[in-house]
Amino acid sequence: MGYAKFLEERKPLAKQLVLELRKKFDYVSILGTFVDGVAITTNRATTSVGEPMLAERGFVIRVYNGLGYAEYSCNDLAKDPVAFAAKIEKVVTLSPSLSAKMTKIVQMKDEPHVEKFNRPDTGKEYTAQEIVAFCSAKKDEILKQDPLIVNAMVQVSQIKVSKMFITEHKELEQFYTWTNATFVCVMQEDGKMSFERVGNQNDNMEKTLREVSGRVEELVTITKKVLHAKHVVPGVYDVITHPSATGLIAHEAFGHGVEMDMFVKNRSKARGYIGKYVASPIVSMRDGAKAFPSVGSYFFDDDGVIGQDTLIIKDGILQTGISDYLSALELGTEPTGNGRRESFKRKAYTRMTNTFFLPGKDKLEDMIKSIKHGYMLFETNNGMEDPKNWNIQCVVEYGIEIKDGKLTDNYISPVVMSGYVPDLLKSISMISSDLEVYGSGFCGKGYKEWVRVSDGGPYLKARVKLG
Amino acid sequence: MIERIIKALKNNPKVNAWRILETKSKSSELFFVSKRLETTRATDLDAFKVTVYTDFDGFRGSATMPVETYMSDADLKGVVEEALYRASFVKDKYYDLVAPVSAKLVNIKSNMEEHSLQECANIVADAVFKADNVDKGSLSATEIFVYDKEYRVVNSCGVDYSFHKYSGMLEFIPNWVGEKEEVELYRNIRFGAIDPADITARVSEALVAAKDRSIAVHLPKEVKKCKVLLAGNDVGQLFSFFVSQLDYATVFQQMSLFKLGESCQGDKVLGDKINITLTPYVAECVASRPVDTDGVVLHEIKLIDKGIPLQYAGASRWGQYLGVKEPTGSLPLIVVAPGSKSIAEMEKEPYIECVAYSGLQVDPFSDYIGGEVRLGYYFDGKKRYPITGFSIGGSLKEAIKNMHLSKETRKDARMVHPTHVEIEGMDII
């Protein structure tokens, strides 16, 4: 297991192609990707063995044409760099009508940097047979837990990422792995169904499988509770968010709003709030490939910028946004290593990596005790950003009622949190000293451009609208 | 390339069956910041997926692997061996691969074939920005994608079908400088042919919606219950719910709440009874395709008649598991019949019309429909005005029992459906 031989073999060709294209273009970069692995899913009826969702192999060549940027994505680099450069030049040349629509953008810098990064899975290496056996055994274990269970699913997915970034003066290479394991339980009774999941993630498959293995009972218990859950009476409540729900708020409420390509497009309200209070003074938030070791961690981003650790909110005050290289150029700021592509087939945008609120000083039990009537909210389902107008919708799997300072056995599901972002963030009155970050999520930009991200934080006490 | 892959598959005696999917794709993509073209992209890709099947002890195991154009014959041999190795641990109930039939596939026509892809993208851009000429209104960002794709499915039973289609996607952000603040909305249009006048009209309409959001107010606090009209792009999710509940895979895995011959809208349907047809082709709908990825040549079927599910539908393998002799294949398009009320009739009494959402949630598991609404309109019996900052929510089962569908329909990427759904009794939050 290690850096892809395919990219190693293509590196001389990539360097030749860069030099050939440099004769015509002032800036040229090539990103090569080789992302593979295995994804195995079992349920009560079938097993599937295939590639992870975001597997990809190919190249994207980016050139600066004196005005703006043009890109060409392809499966492989042709063996004749001269002919291939001529082909690329032809493809990226714009018609006069399109050229007229371009206005000049600053050229990217090409500073010398040669470095390799290697983060292999240091645990046991599993064969496909062993992973199938694990999935099958756990699926059977879940199915026999309760007669109301109609289906169970176990999925293990390991992704192996090799990437190479080449310019005239830059040669960056990275290899890393990530494993996700998810258990799903489905129950049905009297025309009602519940569908719950638990998961663990790590760069070490052995550790991931070990940790998720012990969660069958928890999964079945929650699924049964949710089967009998009631709908919440719509209203505004004091809530405590479990770190997984905290992460959803970090991601949707403010993460998307500080993606600086949104600043460039005049799509972010946050741009006008740098240096101002956007949250309660006890709130701090970070994002970055180096901010936390999780699924959003890497050595360099898809623009060839080294990953960083960015403090976004400090003591309630917005410090800065996060950015890809092109947005930073347009804004005259430094890139933060957040330029990410869904694959070599897609454009790079500013994207979150590992996004989380920082821990506070409160104890969870004190937070629960402080609530007369409210809910504790668990497990991300989905969310949607509104960076310009700061509306927010976060859907979590379930909540548990808190009455007179005590957690009850009354479950609600589903739980849709909505409201105005500053109202929500400024309502945060207690923060626990915990920190958990979950690397199981996918994030889209609008409704496309899916990348893996993590998010999380401590338990938060806030006041939100539930419906 | 396919011939080389087939040779590698046939050379391995342990391979009992196989399927190859090929997608050749070219694209031209334009990325605008305001009216300024920032980045252009072109792609030229050829992707293969090979599924290998091996039979043992009455089971059928399978595994899917990617194949790349650069692979040598030795590489292909290795891919087949790895796929066989992985498939040998999969103990699935046996099913047949699809056999070929004599059929003439529908030719998916598009006016995009008259131009180069870059020209097509430019025509779309000109149509978009023709509407971007209003005081206080503008587009913050626009992304245009046009694709030329060829699909081929080949299997060991003799299936060898291919088809070609053009498609496009336009994403734009209408922005309005209001008196209180600037506001924006999100729009996404998928198209199979270019209609510049329609694009310009839809951009203009989106700018008007952004203007309305800029002057939208909160609902009067006393409005807790009100008739809701679901409209806008997300309405399709409600109809997709009906189809997903009748999918062979959902049914086989016991995750469906619907039964054939029994009303899927409950016992006493007070609203319109739903009629749904699945079809392979609707002119200009992007999802149109004559054959599915298993090689089933697709034909239109009636799925639900007056609220009664007539049959299940879906991929061949799952159909076989349910004992269906001729599985329908995965039909790409949903056609929902018009309802009993015109929009004008729906709008006679007080209502809240929801047109832009943070994401309409339709959840059969927890019996929920609702979500946060970014732009709606409230008619209080006398005056209609834009509203924002509220959510709707309620029981999905109750909603489908009581809903009325509009007579007016719309067409989008994978659906033709009533534009408005009238639901009584939802909570307004």
Q: Identify all chain A residues contacting B59, using CB atoms and an 8 Å cutoff.
A: none
Best interface-test mutation with B: which of A395, A423, A448 has the largest number of B CBs within 10 A? A395
Q: Residue ranges of the alpha helices (H) in B65-165? A: 73-87, 117-130
As a whole number, mean pLDDT of residues A311-332 equals 96
Q: Is B364 on the interface with A (CB under 8 A)?
A: yes
Q: Identify all chain B residues contacting A345, using CB atoms and an 8 Å cutoff.
A: 43, 45
Q: What is the pLDDT of residues A76-113, one digit of tens each?
A: 999 999 999 999 999 999 999 999 999 889 999 999 99
Among the residue ranges A252-256, A284-288, B236-240, B405-409, the one predicted with the least confidence is A252-256
Q: What is the pLDDT of residue A271?
A: 92
Best interface-test mutation with B: which of A47, A67, A93 has the largest number of B CBs within 10 A? A47
Q: What is the pLDDT of residue A459?
A: 98
Query: pLDDT at residue B365 above 90?
Result: no
Q: What is the pLDDT of residue A77?
A: 96
Query: pLDDT at residue A1 above 80?
Result: no
Decide if B253 and A45 are in contact by the 8 Å CB cutoff: yes
As a whole number, mean pLDDT of residues A380-392 equals 84
SS3 B81: helix
CB atoms inside a 10 Å sphere around CB B120: 24
Confidence at A275, pLDDT banded by 50, 70, 90: very high
Residue partners of A69: CB distance under 8 A and separation at least 6: A62, A63, A105, A326, B38, B39, B40
* Domain range list for chain A: 5-37+52-117, 122-159+178-227, 235-466
By CA distance, what is B90's nearest residue in A?
A47
Decide if A267 and B181 are in contact by the 8 Å CB cutoff: no
Q: Is B105 on the interface with A (CB under 8 A)?
A: no
* Segment B255-259 long-range contacts (CB within 8 Å, at least 24 positions apart): B255/A150, B255/A151, B255/A186, B255/A188, B255/A193, B255/A195, B257/A191, B257/A193, B257/B364, B258/B309, B259/B309
Q: What is the pLDDT of residues A425-461, one digit of tens each?
A: 999 999 999 999 998 888 998 889 999 999 999 999 9
Q: Is B386 on the interface with A (CB under 8 A)?
A: no
As a whole number, mean pLDDT of residues A184-204 equals 92
As a whole number, mean pLDDT of residues B191-216 equals 95
Q: What is the pLDDT of residue B47?
A: 94
Contact of A420 with A403, CB cutoff 8 Å: no
Taking all residues of chain A, what is their mean pLDDT, rounded to a whole number? 94
Confidence at A383, pLDDT banded by 50, 70, 90: confident
ipTM for the complex? 0.94
* B333-336/B415-418 β-pairing: parallel
Query: pLDDT at residue A390 above 80?
Result: yes
Confidence at A6, pLDDT banded by 50, 70, 90: very high
Q: What is the pLDDT of residue B233?
A: 85
By CA distance, what is B84's nearest residue in A?
A49
Q: Identify all chain A residues contacting B255, using CB atoms and an 8 Å cutoff.
A: 150-151, 186, 188, 193, 195
Q: Identify all chain B residues contacting A270, using CB atoms and an 8 Å cutoff.
A: none
Decide if B253 and A386 are in contact by the 8 Å CB cutoff: no
* Angle at CA of residue B400, ends B397 and B402, nearest 5°: 105
Query: pLDDT at residue B62 above 90?
Result: yes
Decide if A133 and B89 are in contact by the 8 Å CB cutoff: yes
Name the range with the highest mean pLDDT among A224-238, A246-260, A295-309. Answer: A295-309
Q: Hey, what amino acid is at B2?
A: I
Task: Of B60, B65, B35, B31, give the one whose Cα is nearest residue B47.
Answer: B65
SS3 B194: coil
- The values of phi and psi at residue B253, to 5°, are -90, 15
Q: Is A74 on the interface with B (CB under 8 A)?
A: yes
Q: Is A43 on the interface with B (CB under 8 A)?
A: yes
Query: pLDDT at residue A385 above 80?
Result: no
Measured CA distances, A361 to A277, A283, A376, B105 (Å): 20, 11, 19, 66
Decide if B69 and A129 are in contact by the 8 Å CB cutoff: no
Q: Identify all chain A residues contacting B92, using CB atoms and an 8 Å cutoff.
A: 45-47
As a whole number, mean pLDDT of residues B327-349 equals 97
By CA distance, what is B225's nearest residue in A?
A234
By CA distance, what is B89's nearest residue in A?
A129
Distance CA(A448)–CA(A443), nearest Å, equals: 9
pTM: 0.94
Q: What is the pLDDT of residue B408?
A: 97
Q: What is the pLDDT of residue B330?
A: 98
Q: Identify all chain B residues contacting A413, using CB atoms and an 8 Å cutoff.
A: 366
Q: What is the pLDDT of residues A46-64, one digit of tens each?
A: 999 999 988 999 999 999 9
Calculate what percentage of chain A has a pLDDT beyond 70.
Answer: 100
Q: What is the pLDDT of residue A439?
A: 87
Calculate what percentage of chain B has a pLDDT beyond 90.
Answer: 86
Q: Name residue, tokens 């329609």.
A: B198
Say which CATH class A122-159+178-227 falls into.
alpha beta
How far A370 CA lies from chain B's nearest CA (Å)?
25
Distance CA(A91)–CA(A460), nearest Å, equals: 52
Decide if A43 and B70 are in contact by the 8 Å CB cutoff: no
Enumerate residues 403 to 462 of chain A having a beta carbon within 8 A of any beta carbon in chain B: 413-414, 416, 418, 420, 446-448
As a whole number, mean pLDDT of residues B406-428 equals 94
Q: What is the pLDDT of residues B124-183, one digit of tens each?
A: 999 999 999 899 999 999 999 999 999 999 999 999 999 999 999 999 999 999 998 899
Q: What is the pLDDT of residue B158?
A: 96
CB atoms inside a 10 Å sphere around CB A214: 10
Q: In this structure, what is the dihedral angle of CA atoms B244, B306, B317, B154, given to the nearest 10 degrees?
A: -90
